Structure 1
Amino acid sequence: MEKAWFKQALRKAGKTSNDLADAIGRDRAVVSRIMNGHQRITIDQAKVFAAQLGVPLDEILMRSGLADPPTAQVFKPGFADGDATPFVHKGPEDRATPTIAQALGARPGVDIWTIRSGALALMGYMPGDHMLVDTLQADRAAPGDVVVAQVYDNARGTAATLLRRFEPPVLVAASTAPEDRRVHVVDGNNVVIRGKVVASWRAA
């Protein structure tokens, strides 16, 4: 955690730790622990910090130590969101989501994501559903696991996020949509598993 950088970013944005705490819906002590490196920032908190500080999300991810530069790169503006996106608290209707996530095992390294496509609709994963993605188990995905992966297009400098079932060495969809039928070979370079889905639920 680059504490000095975050303090400077707060000053530049004209914000305080209390402003960040209000924005993420937590008390100031949580922000203090994050800024001092005693608590790991989550993806959804990082997105709120980025919005509040007026800096790109990839910068927050790198400065907080949550992601190395290649991983943070996929969150740069212009990269496709794809099948799923990190959860962002948008208002009162989302108030229960973090509580449900905690009950299901959310912790540092296990983040809330929101499903955006029907790529796994035939397995019951529908757009708008939430899921917990364990990034610490990315390299331990087993056959049949549901995973979040990144597919890079180095020629265009873009990346797409996929929600797929892992059937080594490939990722497969469970959808009737023609655009989801392509099989992606996980090679650790152009196609990389970023996390394993460990729980999912449907918002009320």
Structure 2
Amino acid sequence: MDDKWFKAQQKKVGVTADAIAGRLGKSRSNVSHIYNGRQKMTLEWAQAFSDALEVPIDEVLTRAGVVLQSQPPKESMPIQADTPTTARRTRPPGALSEENAHRLLVRSDQSELLALHQGNTTHRKATEVAGALGLNENSEMWEVNSYAVSMCGYMPGDIILADRGLSELCKPGDIVVADVANWGNKGKTTILRKYDPPALVPAAGPNLDQRIHIVDFVNVVIRAKVIASWRS
């Protein structure tokens, strides 16, 4: 744990330990415990430090002494989002059928989320960060490609880590990845939205897309809950 670096970053951006802890509703003693090694740097804390100190989450993890895996995860641990295998394994009752579980049929530059291509630098770096955060068989990684939830801090180019295992445990205010059926071309669109039961709503400026979608588990299905994000 490079506590001197963390404290220097706090001073640089003018953030107190109270402010960092307050992001999670905790006290400054928790921050002190992380600095002296008595408390683990968890996913939630790493995200809080990243946001407060205005640094990438992988930098936070490295400075905290969390080892980033340089090797990609095993093939049995799918992170290439939006594959037929993934859709088949995680599809809840009433979810989109197999024929509607293929890759996006819209142009990639019009998609709200872009799947990461295996082998490129962005994918390798994202895999390292996600591995340190506890990548598992329910994990998905996406690159944000719209301003749909920009008012919640998610901007184009950001990488998000989402957990399919939490898709049915989402609470109001959670940011989620969802599939919306396109019955005209028998495909689907994968979107990023804020969950406001029973709807998925945008959190963008007034001049951007303000369409909402009602979760009915047939035409609109929450596929994963966003649990972390970072900027490369």
> TM-score per shorter chain, which class?
0.5 to 0.7
**1:65 Cα deviation from its structure 2 partner:** 6.1
1:75 aligns with 2:113: no
Which of 213, 223, 228 is residue 184 of structure 1 equivalent to? 213
Higher relative contact order (CA 8 A, sep 6+): 2
User: Residue 141 of structure 1 aligns with which residue?
Assistant: 170
Q: Which structure: larger Rg?
A: 2
Contact 1:84–1:161 (CA under 8 A) maintained in structure 2: yes
Structure 1 or 2: more helix by fraction: 1
Q: Provide the C-alpha distance between the structure 1 equivalents of 2:146 and 2:200, rounded to a whole number of angstroms.
A: 16
Q: Secondary structure at the match of 1:139?
A: coil
Contact 2:99–2:187 (CA under 8 A) maintained in structure 1: no
**1:100 Cα deviation from its structure 2 partner:** 0.9
Contact 1:41–1:66 (CA under 8 A) maintained in structure 2: no
Q: Provide the C-alpha distance between the structure 2 equivalents of 1:65 and 1:155, rounded to a whole number of angstroms.
A: 22
Q: Secondary structure at the match of 1:111?
A: strand
User: Residue 158 of structure 2 aligns with which residue?
Assistant: 129
Q: Provide the C-alpha distance between the structure 2 equivalents of 1:196 and 1:157, rounded to a whole number of angstroms.
A: 25
Q: Provide the C-alpha distance between the structure 1 equivalents of 2:180 and 2:212, rounded to a whole number of angstroms.
A: 11
Q: Secondary structure at the match of 2:97?
A: helix
1:156 aligns with 2:188: no
64-73 vs 76-85, which moves further = 64-73
Q: Secondary structure at the match of 1:95?
A: helix
Q: Provide the C-alpha distance between the structure 2 equivalents of 1:93 and 1:186, rounded to a whole number of angstroms.
A: 32
Q: Provide the C-alpha distance between the structure 1 equivalents of 2:103 and 2:140, rounded to a whole number of angstroms.
A: 19
Contact 1:147–1:166 (CA under 8 A) maintained in structure 2: yes
Structure 1 vs Structure 2: percent identity of aligned residues?
31
Q: Provide the C-alpha distance between the structure 1 equivalents of 2:222 and 2:153, rounded to a whole number of angstroms.
A: 21
Superimposed CA distance per residue, residues 112-151 of structure 1 (whole angstroms, 9 cap, x where no aligned partner): 1111111111111011111111011111111111000111
- Relative to structure 1, the CA distance from residue 157 to residue 73 in structure 2 (aligned partners, 3 Å threshold; closer, same or farther) is closer
Superimposed CA distance per residue, residues 131-178 of structure 1 (whole angstroms, 9 cap, x where no aligned partner): 111011111111111000111122331311110000001011111264
174-183 vs 64-73, which moves further = 64-73
**1:86 Cα deviation from its structure 2 partner:** 2.8
For 1:164, give the aligned amino acid. Answer: R
For 1:43, give the aligned amino acid. Answer: I
Which of 175, 187, 200 is residue 229 of structure 2 equivalent to? 200
1:104 aligns with 2:133: yes
Structure 2 unmatched runs, 5+: 1-70
Question: Could you tell me the TM-score, scaled by structure 2's length?
Answer: 0.58
Q: Provide the C-alpha distance between the structure 2 equivalents of 1:80 and 1:73, rounded to a whole number of angstroms.
A: 17
- Relative to structure 1, the CA distance from residue 76 to residue 161 in structure 2 (aligned partners, 3 Å threshold; closer, same or farther) is closer
User: Residue 84 of structure 1 aligns with which residue?
Assistant: 113
Q: Provide the C-alpha distance between the structure 2 equivalents of 1:177 and 1:83, rounded to a whole number of angstroms.
A: 17
RMSD between aligned residues: 2.8
For 1:138, give the aligned amino acid. Answer: S
Task: Figure out how many residues of one structure are paired with residues of the other and give that number.
Answer: 156
